[in-house]
Amino acid sequence: MKKIFLVVFAFFNFVLAQNTGTIKGIVKDSNSGTPLFGANIFLEKTSYGQTTDINGNFEFKNVPEGNYVLQVRYIGYAEYKDSIIVTKNKTITLSVELNAEVIEGESIIITGQALGQKQAINQQFMADQNAASALSRLPGVSLMQGENVDRLKKPDWNTEEYGSILENDFKSVLMSPLSTFSLDVDNASYSNVRRFIMDNRLPYKDAIRTEEMINYFDYDYEEPDGDHPLKANIEYADCPWNKDTKLIHIGIKAKVLEKQNEIPQNLVFLIDVSGSMSDDNKLPLLKKSFKLLVEQLDEKDKISIVVYAGNAGLVLPSTPGNEKSKILEVLERLESGGSTAGGAGIQLAYKVAAENFIKEGNNRVILATDGDFNVGISSTSELVDFVGKKKDEGIFITVLGFGMGNYKDDRLQEIADRGNGNHAYIDNILEAKKVLVNEINSTLFTIAKDVKLQIEFNPAKIKEYRLIGYENRLLNDEDFVDDTKDAGEVGYGHTVTAIYEVKPGKAASDKSFSELKYQEYKLRDDASDSDEILTVKFRYKKPDGNKSIEFSEVLDKDAEKFEDASDNLKFASAVAQFALLLRDSKHKGTANFNDIISTAKEAKGKDEYGYRAEFIQLVERAQLLKQTDEKK
């Protein structure tokens, strides 16, 4: 019987194959002709999908006869679509040329020669691949497909570090009526997660900080129009991944810095030039990134450059920002080598910043490194204490992380948090443009410091709540009014988002928890009569102030249907769901990749720089990786 089945099955496949064709081709950059590795290829409305190999090739076999739409996507390039007809026993060979999406400042100068950003990156990548291919033919050398020559430069182990994240759980409103946390504007986690997925790997769970994923994107919130530099936008809607819960979406918009009122800058570039920074995605990318920032400066700004390896040194004394050729020449000469005296470098950088302090300006150290400190002040606690003291002198810090393999994410985040700064991860030149050009005002110019939120829920309306993300930013309730307690910083024009998942209904003390011996929890008589769902309190200090200013907002309307919510809430919820899936959270409910993609597409909005379109492509790529992993 089994043999008969196998014969019938083989015959069926043979007949099916006679009515199918093949689609194959290559995907290239339209300008340089460079093959594009990792482009996503789909046949619309079918299950056919794959990514291009290191030579840019793809192939679909046994495609049934018919009409199809071929779709090609690659981050940083315009989407490609083409109608094709598949006929039996025929092979269609395609040459797909993708056009780089046009952005301002597309070309940068690299060693005197202007190269398109994407073209330069792909040429370097293919050069590495060709070198790896040649080396793989030597005796005793073996490389997996997709590996590049970097694997031959260093041992095959990973020493990246991520702080453990214990995901927030639901809390009883009666037992814990207040939720207090420090506002977070970092977004390093998103670009780091993107780096994993673009390398055809799913990220480590602890690399995913949900609030940083959400806050990578700008949202269309109402701007402040009163005395405060911040304005709260609060929404209440159904939760798309759990029919029994709701979402409370708190969106904060900071005042926008007008061009004519830009603040003079005293910047100290603190650059890691140790041996661990030699890879192309470290010091070479770092130099290109800083060149983009230099182009934004003028005569009112001052720039210094401190480098550190075995020793720390000042390679560029404070120089006016309009002397660009002098600054760029120093950047270009930087080379990597030696061990990493990170602590000594930080000490010297703050000394230089203090010597050139601008009283009414933005005084900031910009640290660029993979975080692999191992000489001098090397422990995280010592570095954190040092930068924490310096922020009180009016000198803040921005931390830019680079590279992979030994990236110290948790260390860099903690240094930035304590130093009244922000933390970004630069995985490519377009991310450098986002951080240092498109968002320079929010990245470098602080409008409010030590920003804290405290939410009080009405137990007559909400039984339980869960803050999505911000695990590393939680504060004790008493910290809210303690002006000595450090909190987050917000830059000009920044949008910051926090989302709660809540269980609506009246909290009942006799059912929620066991009876207490010395006290009791109960609702005030007027709580049930109120329409208020919650109250959000804000505290912040001015950049040069030491006393907090407080204001509050009230949510007093019932939840709306998810489909009636704003694009802000919808897109943020799509990103939150993506993080839940990547973390395999116990709270992920019915979240799935298809719903995330459809919601993100619906709520994409204007998307001036294409970041939301890139997110959709990233989710699609992660879905393919997840499916592949599940089949192993």
Reported as a single tens digit per residue, the pLDDT across 299-350 is 999 999 998 876 668 889 999 999 999 999 998 888 877 555 556 778 888 8
List the one residue out of 629, 628, 624 whose CA is nearest residue 39. 624
pLDDT at 575: 97
Which residue type occupies 217? Answer: F
Mean confidence (pLDDT) of the chain: 80
- In this structure, CATH architecture of domain 171-257+447-631: Sandwich (2.60)
CATH number of 263-427: 3.40.50.410
pLDDT at 353: 92
Q: Record the tokens describing residue 452, joined without a space.
A: 């804290």
In this prediction, residue 626 has a pLDDT band, given cuts at 50, 70 and 90, of confident
pLDDT at 25 over 80: yes
How many other CB atoms are found less than 10 A from the CB of residue 466?
17
Domains 171-257+447-631 and 263-427 share a fold: no
pLDDT at 53: 75
CATH number of 2-98: 2.60.40.10
Average pLDDT over residues 88-103: 81
pLDDT at 19: 82
Please enumerate in sequence order all residues whose Cβ is within 8 A of that of 488, keeping only pairs 6 or more positions apart, or say none.
182, 183, 184, 185, 417, 450, 451, 452, 473
What are the residue ranges spanned by the domains of the chain? 2-98, 171-257+447-631, 263-427
CA distances from 322 to 108, 136, 259, 303, 307 (A): 17, 48, 17, 10, 21
Average pLDDT over residues 472-488: 91
Unique residue bearing structure tokens 């037992």:
175
Average pLDDT over residues 141-150: 34
Q: What number of CA atoms fall less than 13 Å from residue 369's CA on the CB side? A: 35
Quote the CA–CA distance of 100 and 577 in Å, as a whole number: 30
Pick 399 or 388 by higher pLDDT. Answer: 399
Please enumerate in sequence order all residues whose Cβ is within 8 A of that of 418, keeping only pairs 6 or more positions apart, or say none.
384, 385, 387, 388, 391, 486
CB–CB of 331/368 below 8 Å?
Answer: no
In this prediction, residue 103 has a pLDDT band, given cuts at 50, 70 and 90, of very low
In this prediction, residue 632 has a pLDDT band, given cuts at 50, 70 and 90, of low
Quote the CA–CA distance of 157 and 619 in Å, as a whole number: 27
pLDDT at 538: 94
pLDDT at 551 over 90: yes
Task: Dump pLDDT digits (tens) for 218-248.
Answer: 999 999 988 899 999 999 999 999 999 999 9
pLDDT at 16 over 70: no
CB–CB of 539/452 below 8 Å?
Answer: yes
pLDDT at 385 over 80: no
Quote the CA–CA distance of 462 and 455 in Å, as a whole number: 12
In this prediction, residue 541 has a pLDDT band, given cuts at 50, 70 and 90, of very high
